[in-house]
């Protein structure tokens, strides 16, 4: 708890102000996105970090717009983006599209993926998709209190090793694990922790072959693109938004 | 101030004017007018000035001629007039200008499409089928409406819009009824199965095409929730009826209805799944394994179900049925998901014996 | 990046897409889930016996049962409303006497000592200040009770069950089950309800949800309902039953609103918005013990105050306008009086009156100020005023308010029709703007604004006609 407290005294929460800035992130040192399935406690974590009062509620779809707030940690100003919950990045309703577009094109410095610890399998569906896109992420195993109440625990070391990103256990509503989350995010932002994100392996052989073929072509055209494999998968799936983004050149300076 | 006095008088006299009976008479009349308009909607089209409807009549005629000439070569004005709901004299007028424009030519009493006419017809068919594909993938319109919506749209899309649509849909080859979509150059793949009528008893096959016209027959077919891609197993058939099994339901159709369903035999990699039933048939206390989502369920709906975890091999159980048995709540991967029955119809399962806790 | 290269890439993609076949999406999701299952299996530790969720399951089976599902929903709503009505009464009176009886005279004296001109004094203190004072005393207490209770239910996880229960009705009216969620958000604020419709993925059903959100009584309208129900309906029975009868009346209006939501959803999906089949896939979250203090704190400090702030921002200019029209004279009659007389004939036709209609025009910016406007206009109209006209008159007790309204020619019919019209009229300006923001269509915004008014006139007209059959 020390870091959090020390920052409480150095006016951690003062910088927090709900501003709709668009993608204007100039005055913050790092931009941190909060992503995850609906109703996993993203807004609760957001409130705990920024001192703001984003509405929370126990049903999926409470947050439907993007909210921004900030906090300061070790002389760095972090801008935190609370996003609507989404079940996947494979595109659906309007609230989910906001989340997906920010994760894809908003280029956050770190993505905090909030996961419901009691429903990890369904949540991992989204986690694995996000990890195809970004190589800087922190997994926040939230709702630990509820999971334990339901006799479920998670081996976070193994999980961290499997996914190649740091994992932090939290109970956001009780403010447990928040300080560890803050410092882990900071380390990832400062590149003191280097992530080696998991890549999807479960595709069938023929599908895998097609993805590789297209991936190769994309990398030839856009050398150095970190998420070329994801783009290949989306192109094969005829994702209209990705095709449009490609035409507009949204991927070039990633 | 005089204005204000007069109005007041008028308002004061209104209640007596609108004495009890009149109010109801007025609403009944409104209702009747509404229904009359609704019933004779199509007549409104022929009331429009000719120049506005010439294009769409031309295109409708081209399509009709395309389909007829690829079958038998009889062009009967009265039949066309009835099919398109346009007076014969207008058809004559359109035919005259079509001849002038080189879309059709007349030889020994038959009207035949020229090369240009044929390409034009194919381009209209292309828009029609692409739009049906669009409706099935990107919107939730009921499939009984696809045809009519596409029928209206085919006259509206420009060439550029059509190509943009084609790209957006990922360059599809078949429409949702299983019909091939002509390419921009006017080529069309033909993959035709055989009618389900006349297939021997005990055969297993896959539906590849369901004709969407006439509408009365199409409605009967989709009422049974039959769809392109569904497996069928013929149980019995005679001259009047055919009984077959599909997705755990036994379905009886008259020969005339069934003859609009085209099937092919299953290939070596596809196995007919015996115990396959729809999720909607699961009742409280039962457990099941998901076998897949029917190919009927497309677009956003299908993606939503997949995202929620209705994946091949998933174990699930029904948690409770709700006040009206619809929607119902299912538990899978330790999550509780409510689904309406008509969505659960798309999810194919095999009932299994499991310990409840394995799903948690 | 050359355009040609991109085209090449897209061409290769479509070529490969034809090769992998139509089901690539399925393959992809199945692949991801296979990995997810693998990882989950490795890392999930089951402690002892797995929890079979027996308690939650039992609770759900009751809350969603055929027999108890609907009665429980209505019961919960009734309890919340009853507590709100009962609990808000006393603090409302306190606040009113503080702002209007205690502080108002002091301000007036202060103003005359400073030497403010009469018109500025009237405009600021009798107009703006009294409007603000009224809004605070009437709105703060019910909201401070209603919101926390509602939030507790929300945090517990009851709302998704309501959506689950109501879905079959929404399905019948061609709408989406999640509309139940946006409807309950509308009970707080219609603008918030309209934004919440983003959770509905089909555009058609979303539009239905947006248009019908206005049938959810928002917090600006609850006080109107409560006050009028107490005066005209509660007064029909002895004192000890009046709160209960008044609550029942308000609940019926709320339920009528739900009824209109279904009816207009149904009509829309049969006419203007017909076509697309609706779907419903909703995750039902586990019940979670609500965090009492956080909830109280957030809904009081944040929700209540923000809504109140908005109300005040709109109430101030409205108070000023009322003061102005009551003090501008044409032919010896104030502008307000001319308009009221002019609208009276029209109003009586619908069992309303000119005062109510004018109040609804003035209150387009915010529903919260309808009642104070009505009272003030009644006073001005009857020439009961001693002091400068145009004060948002506050009467400390409901009995006095009742006496005033009766003097203004109000009957039980007027009361009932006002309650109906308060449910069925145009959305407030913020909501209208939000509707435009969300739909980006003037056409639908206009429709959503005008349709409820027409419905309101239709319903009050029919009620008046039927009433007159028996009287
Ligand atoms: N017991 C417990 N409850 C929590 C915890 N974190 C959040 N909650 C509750 O979970 C519910 C959902 O929290 P939100 O923060 O609204 O979730 P969200 O991820 O923002 O949800 P969406 O905006 O709908 O995507 C709320 O009722 C919270 O009070 C936790 O650590 N423990
Ligand atoms: Mg949220």
Model confidence over B231-261: pLDDT tens digits?
888 888 888 888 888 877 888 888 888 888 8
- Domain match, B24 and B91 both: no
Q: How many domains does chain B have?
A: 4
> Relative to the CA of A176, which ligand 1 atom is closest?
31
Q: For residue C51, which residues of chain B lie inside 8 Å, CB to CB?
A: 360
Enclosing domain of residue B15: 1-39
B162 within domain boundaries: no
Which of residues B113, B146, B169 is at a domain's end? B113
- Domain match, B252 and B296 both: no
Measured distance CA(C395)–CA(C380) in Å, rounded: 14
Per-residue model confidence as pLDDT tens for chain C (471 residues): 567 777 888 888 888 877 777 778 888 999 999 999 999 999 888 887 766 667 888 898 899 988 898 999 889 988 887 888 788 778 888 888 888 788 888 888 888 888 888 777 877 787 778 777 777 777 778 778 877 888 888 889 999 999 999 998 998 888 888 898 899 888 877 888 898 888 887 788 889 999 999 999 887 788 788 878 888 888 788 877 877 888 889 889 999 999 999 999 998 888 877 766 667 889 999 999 888 887 787 777 766 776 677 667 777 777 778 778 877 888 777 888 888 888 887 888 888 888 888 888 888 877 777 877 787 777 767 765 444 444 444 455 566 677 777 777 888 889 999 999 999 988 988 889 989 988 888 999 999 999 999 999 999 988 988 888 877
B76 within domain boundaries: yes
Q: What percent of chain A has pLDDT over 90?
A: 33
Cα distances (angstroms) measured from residue A225 to each of A127, A231, C12, C17, C129: 20, 10, 19, 22, 62
Smallest Cβ distance to A238: which of B170, B303, B307?
B170
- Domain match, B86 and B49 both: yes
Question: How far is the centre of ligand 1, averaged over its atoms, from the C-alpha of C377 (Å)?
Answer: 47
**C464 φ/ψ angles, rounded to the nearest 5 degrees:** -65, -45
Smallest Cβ distance to A88: which of B307, B333, B335?
B307
B125 within domain boundaries: no
**A160: its two tokens:** 């961290």
Q: Do B18 and C465 touch (CB under 8 A)?
A: yes
Contact (Cβ atoms closer than 8 angstroms) between residue A131 and residue A197: yes
Question: How far is the centre of ligand 1, averaged over its atoms, from the C-alpha of B331 (Å)?
Answer: 20
Contacts of residue B346, Cβ cutoff 8 Å, sequence gap at least 6: B278, B279, B293, B294, B296, B297, B301, B302, B305
pLDDT at A40: 95
What are residue B337's DSSP bridge partners?
B330, C283
CATH of the domain at B288: 2.30.30.90
Question: How far is the centre of ligand 1, averaged over its atoms, from the C-alpha of C156 (Å)?
Answer: 11
Identify which of A206, A188, A186, A185 has the alpha carbon closest to the alpha carbon of residue A196.
A188
B134 within domain boundaries: no
Measured distance CA(C463)–CA(B26) in Å, rounded: 17
A176-204 average pLDDT score: 89
Residue whose token pair is 């969603």: C64
Model confidence over A6-17: pLDDT tens digits?
333 333 333 333
Mutate to test the pocket of ligand 1, among C288, C291, C297 (most ligand atoms within 8 A of CB): C288
pLDDT at C351: 85
pLDDT at A15: 33
pLDDT at A2: 37
**C37 φ/ψ angles, rounded to the nearest 5 degrees:** -60, -40
pLDDT of A4 > 70? The answer is no
- Compute the nearest-CA separation of C7 from chain B (Å): 11
- Domain match, B206 and B251 both: yes
| pTM for this predicted structure | 0.80
pLDDT at A252: 54
B137 within domain boundaries: no
pLDDT band at A128 (very low <50, low <70, confident <90, very high): very high
Smallest Cβ distance to A128: which of C25, C35, C49?
C35
Smallest Cβ distance to A118: which of B308, B309, B334?
B334
A102-111 average pLDDT score: 86
pLDDT at B329: 93
Residues lining ligand 1, CB < 6 A?
A 36, 38-44, 56-58, 60-63, 84-85, 142-143, 145-146, 171-173; C 155, 288
Which of residues B265, B290, B313 is at a domain's end? B265
B218 within domain boundaries: yes
pLDDT at C366: 74
- Domain match, B54 and B30 both: no
- Domain match, B84 and B107 both: yes
CATH of the domain at B60: 1.10.10.10
- Domain match, B310 and B254 both: no
pLDDT at B340: 92
pLDDT of A169 > 50? The answer is yes
B159 within domain boundaries: no
- Domain match, B256 and B280 both: no
Model confidence over A140-165: pLDDT tens digits?
999 999 999 888 899 999 999 999 99
Which of residues B236, B265, B294 is at a domain's end? B265
- Domain match, B341 and B283 both: yes
pLDDT at C35: 92
Contact (Cβ atoms closer than 8 angstroms) between residue C27 and residue A243: no
Cα distances (angstroms) measured from residue A213 to each of A90, A129, B168, C16, C428: 21, 20, 22, 9, 57
pLDDT at C432: 92
Instruction: Answer left, alpha or beta for residue C401, where phi above 0 means left and psi between -120 and 50 means alpha.
Output: alpha
B143 within domain boundaries: no
- Domain match, B282 and B257 both: no
- Compute the nearest-CA separation of C303 from chain A (Å): 9
Segments of chain B scoring below 70 in pLDDT: 1-24, 38-52, 68-76, 108-109, 140, 189-192, 268-271, 273, 354-360
Ligand 1: which residue has its CA nearest to atom 11? A58
Mutate to test the pocket of ligand 1, among A47, A56, A95, A149 (most ligand atoms within 8 A of CB): A56
Q: Do A243 and C10 touch (CB under 8 A)?
A: yes
Q: Which ligand is nearest to the CA of A42?
A: 1
pLDDT at B192: 67
**B177 φ/ψ angles, rounded to the nearest 5 degrees:** -90, -5
């Amino acid at each position: 708890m020390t870091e959090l407290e020390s920052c409480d005294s150095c006016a951690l929460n003062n910088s927090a102000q709900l501003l709709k800035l668009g993608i204007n992130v100039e005055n913050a040192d790092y931009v941190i996105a909060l992503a995850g399935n609906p109703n996993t406690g993203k807004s609760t974590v957001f409130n705990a970090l920024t001192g703001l009062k984003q509405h929370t509620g126990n049903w999926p779809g409470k947050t439907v717009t993007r909210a921004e707030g900030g906090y300061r940690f070790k002389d760095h100003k972090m801008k935190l983006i609370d996003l609507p919950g989404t079940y996947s990045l494979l595109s659906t309703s309007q609230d989910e599209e906001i989340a997906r577009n920010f994760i894809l094109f908003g280029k956050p410095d770190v993505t905090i993926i909030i996961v419901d610890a009691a429903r990890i399998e369904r949540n991992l569906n989204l986690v694995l998709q996000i990890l195809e896109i970004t190589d800087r992420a922190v997994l926040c195993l939230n709702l630990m209190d509820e999971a334990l109440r339901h006799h479920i625990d998670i081996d976070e070391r193994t999980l961290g090793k499997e996914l190649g990103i740091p994992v932090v256990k939290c109970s956001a509503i009780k403010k447990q694990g928040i300080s560890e989350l803050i410092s882990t995010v900071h380390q990832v932002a400062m590149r003191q922790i280097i992530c080696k994100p998991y890549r999807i392996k479960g595709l069938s052989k023929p599908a895998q072959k097609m993805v590789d073929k297209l991936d190769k072509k994309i990398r030839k055209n856009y050398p150095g693109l970190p998420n070329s494999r994801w783009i290949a998968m989306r192109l094969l799936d005829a994702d209209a938004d990705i095709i449009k983004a490609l035409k507009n050149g949204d991927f070039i300076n990633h | 101030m005089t204005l204000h006095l007069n109005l007041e008088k008028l308002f004061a006299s209104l209640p007596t004017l609108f004495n009890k009976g009149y109010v109801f008479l007025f609403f009944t009349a409104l209702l009747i007018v509404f229904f009359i308009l609704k019933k004779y909607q199509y007549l409104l089209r022929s009331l429009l000035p000719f120049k506005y409807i010439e294009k769409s009549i031309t295109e409708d005629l081209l399509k009709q001629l395309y389909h007829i000439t690829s079958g038998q070569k009889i062009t009967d004005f009265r039949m066309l007039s009835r099919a398109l709901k346009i007076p014969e004299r207008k058809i004559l007028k359109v035919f005259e200008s079509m001849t002038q424009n080189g879309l059709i030519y007349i030889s020994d009493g038959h009207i035949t499409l020229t090369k240009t006419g044929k390409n034009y017809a194919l381009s209209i068919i292309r828009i029609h089928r692409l739009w049906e594909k669009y409706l099935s993938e990107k919107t939730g319109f009921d499939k009984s409406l696809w045809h009519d919506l596409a029928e209206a749209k085919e006259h509206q899309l420009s060439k550029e819009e059509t190509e943009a649509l084609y790209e957006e849909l990922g360059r599809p080859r078949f429409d949702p009824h299983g019909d091939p979509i002509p390419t921009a150059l006017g080529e069309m793949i033909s993959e035709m199965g055989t009618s389900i009528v006349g297939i021997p008893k005990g055969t297993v096959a896959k539906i590849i095409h369901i004709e969407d016209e006439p509408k009365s027959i199409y409605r009967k077919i989709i009422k049974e929730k039959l769809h392109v891609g569904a497996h069928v197993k013929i149980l019995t058939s005679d001259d009047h009826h055919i009984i077959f099994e599909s997705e755990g339901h036994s379905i009886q159709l008259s020969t005339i209805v069934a003859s609009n369903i085209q099937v092919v035999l299953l290939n070596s990699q596809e196995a007919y799944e015996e115990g396959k039933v729809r999720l909607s048939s699961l009742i409280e206390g039962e457990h099941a394994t998901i076998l897949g989502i029917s190919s009927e369920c497309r677009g956003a709906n299908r993606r939503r179900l997949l995202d929620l975890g209705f994946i091949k091999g998933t174990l699930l159980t029904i948690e409770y049925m709700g006040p009206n048995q619809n929607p119902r709540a299912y538990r899978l991967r330790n999550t509780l998901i409510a689904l309406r029955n008509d969505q659960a119809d798309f999810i194919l399962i095999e009932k299994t014996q499991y310990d409840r806790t394995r799903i948690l | 990046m050359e355009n040609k290269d991109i085209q090449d890439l897209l061409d290769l993609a479509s070529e490969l897409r034809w090769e992998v076949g139509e089901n690539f999406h399925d393959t992809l999701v199945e692949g991801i889930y296979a990995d997810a299952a693998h990882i989950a299996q490795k890392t999930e530790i089951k402690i002892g016996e797995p929890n079979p969720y027996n308690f939650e399951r039992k609770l759900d089976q009751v809350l969603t049962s055929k027999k108890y599902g609907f009665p429980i929903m209505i019961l919960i709503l009734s309890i919340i409303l009853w507590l709100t009505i009962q609990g808000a009464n006393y603090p409302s009176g306190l606040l009113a006497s503080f702002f209007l009886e205690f502080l108002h005279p002091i301000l007036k004296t202060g103003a005359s000592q400073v030497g403010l001109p009469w018109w500025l004094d009237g405009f600021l203190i009798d107009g703006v200040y009294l409007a603000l004072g009224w809004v605070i005393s009437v709105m703060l207490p019910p909201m401070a009770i209603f919101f926390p209770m509602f939030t507790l239910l929300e945090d517990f996880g009851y709302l998704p069950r309501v959506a689950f229960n109501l879905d079959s009705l929404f399905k019948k009216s061609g709408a989406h089950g999640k509309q139940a969620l946006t409807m309950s958000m509308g009970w707080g604020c219609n603008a918030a309800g309209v934004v919440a419709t983003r959770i509905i993925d089909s555009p058609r059903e979303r539009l239905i949800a947006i248009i019908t959100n206005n049938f959810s009584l928002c917090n600006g309208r609850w006080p109107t309902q409560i006050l009028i129900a107490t005066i005209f309906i509660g007064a029909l029975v002895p004192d000890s039953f009046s709160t209960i009868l008044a609550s029942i009346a308000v609940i019926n209006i709320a339920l009528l609103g739900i009824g209109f939501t279904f009816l207009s959803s149904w009509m829309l999906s049969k006419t203007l918005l017909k076509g697309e089949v609706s779907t419903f896939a909703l995750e039902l979250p586990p019940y979670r013990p609500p965090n009492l203090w956080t909830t109280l704190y957030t809904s009081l400090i944040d929700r209540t105050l923000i809504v109140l702030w908005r109300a005040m921002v709109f109430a101030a200019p409205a108070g000023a306008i009322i003061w102005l029209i009551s003090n501008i004279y044409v032919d010896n009659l104030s502008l307000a009086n001319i308009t009221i007389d002019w609208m009276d004939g029209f109003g009586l036709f619908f069992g309303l009156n000119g005062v109510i209609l004018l109040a609804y025009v003035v209150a387009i910016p915010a529903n919260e100020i309808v009642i104070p406007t009505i009272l003030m206009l009644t006073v001005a109209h009857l020439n009961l005023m001693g002091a400068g006209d145009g004060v948002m008159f506050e009467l400390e007790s409901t009995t006095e308010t009742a006496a005033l309204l009766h003097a203004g020619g109000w009957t039980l019919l007027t009361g009932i029709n006002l309650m109906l019209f308060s449910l069925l009229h145009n959305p407030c300006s913020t909501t209208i703007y939000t509707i435009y923001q969300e739909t980006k269509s003037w056409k639908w915004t206009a429709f959503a604004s005008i349709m409820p008014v027409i419905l309101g006139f239709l319903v009050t007209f029919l009620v008046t006609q039927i009433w007159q059959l028996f009287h």
